[in-house]
A = this chain, B = another copy of it.
Amino acid sequence: MSEDVFLQELVARLEGADEAVVVPPGDDCAALALGPDLLQLLAVDQVVGDRHYHLTGEQADPPGLAGRKLLARNLSDIAAMGGTPAYALVAVALDPGHDEAWLNRFLQGIIDLGAVYNVRMIGGDLARTPADNVASLTIVGTVPRNQVCCRKGARPGDALYATGWFGASLETRHHLNFSPRCAEGRWLAASGAVTAMIDVSDGLLLDATRLCRASGLGLLLDTQAIPPRIEGLAEENMLGDGEDYELLVALDPEQAGWIEAQWPFSEVPLTRIGTFEPSQSPRVRRQADGVALDATSGGYDHFRGTPVEGVH
């Protein structure tokens, strides 16, 4: 069962609708109505020791970076909805090999990044495990109702843009050090030009396919336009390495030029990398030769198992 199927299963088992749930499970966040003009965003994400970061051994990552990553992953989900983060609740299940000193540094990593993004901790729980170290964080944020960005909504002819760079997240330690694109997501959402948005956690190709599936479209992907995180990266790395935590955003093509010209984040590129097209299946084709790209061969689904090359 993939994460996508997990959420589909959850939704399928729920009876009836709840009009207060404006965006149901399956997007980057769920959205609840806080009032006529405001939505509350909620999402949960986890980090598992020696899966999402190195907990043990000579390569062990600083615990503060592990905590930082836990919050940052959740902030990226808020960013993908065009929202502003506000509060977090954290649950830690600590393994027998790590003590309060480790925990304190882990929490400080959350709190320090929280201070940058104006996120306040409002709850927590602690447990001990037999062997593993698992932590989850629930993020709470807001977004104006008329600005919320979902995975569905892209139209044929819409342009696909990406923030930042792709690939090599593990070896560059980007997966621990990344800056969630909250300001960028808010700016895009406020522009009124966004028709769909998602953050790239499991690989550009897999997350682009999710946009296609939610919107009922195909995508022509200009793989040569994708900015590599480091020089000389192969296409498959940019498409499949994952943990980029960049935004993929579908823009009204008539407004794309204006968006590009006004883009205020000089240190983060906004690059056109594709065009949505009508399609019976959520197919991504390479623009240069029209060949279909297979999302199942690339892309990282955290639920399928540890990737061959190391920790994600």
Contact = CB atoms under 8 A, between A and B. Distances in A.
Interface in A1-27: 1, 3, 6-7, 9-11, 13-15, 18, 21, 24-25
Contact of A123 (B25, B52, B115, B302): B25
B127 A46 contact: yes
Interface in A46-92: 46, 48, 50-52, 87, 89-91
Nearest to A31: B122
Given A32-B87, A93-B132, A138-B138, A10 B124 contact: yes
A30 interface: yes
Nearest to A110: B10
A206 to B, nearest CB: 15
B132 A130 contact: yes
A179 interface: no
Interface stretch (A100-108, A146-154, A270-278): A100-108
A3 to B, nearest CB: 5
A126 B14 contact: no
Given A48-B127, A122-B25, A103 B1 contact: yes
Interface of A: 1, 3, 6-7, 9-11, 13-15, 18, 21, 24-25, 29-30, 32, 34-35, 42-46, 48, 50-52, 87, 89-91, 93, 95, 100, 103-104, 107-108, 111, 115, 120-132, 134, 136, 138, 140, 302-306
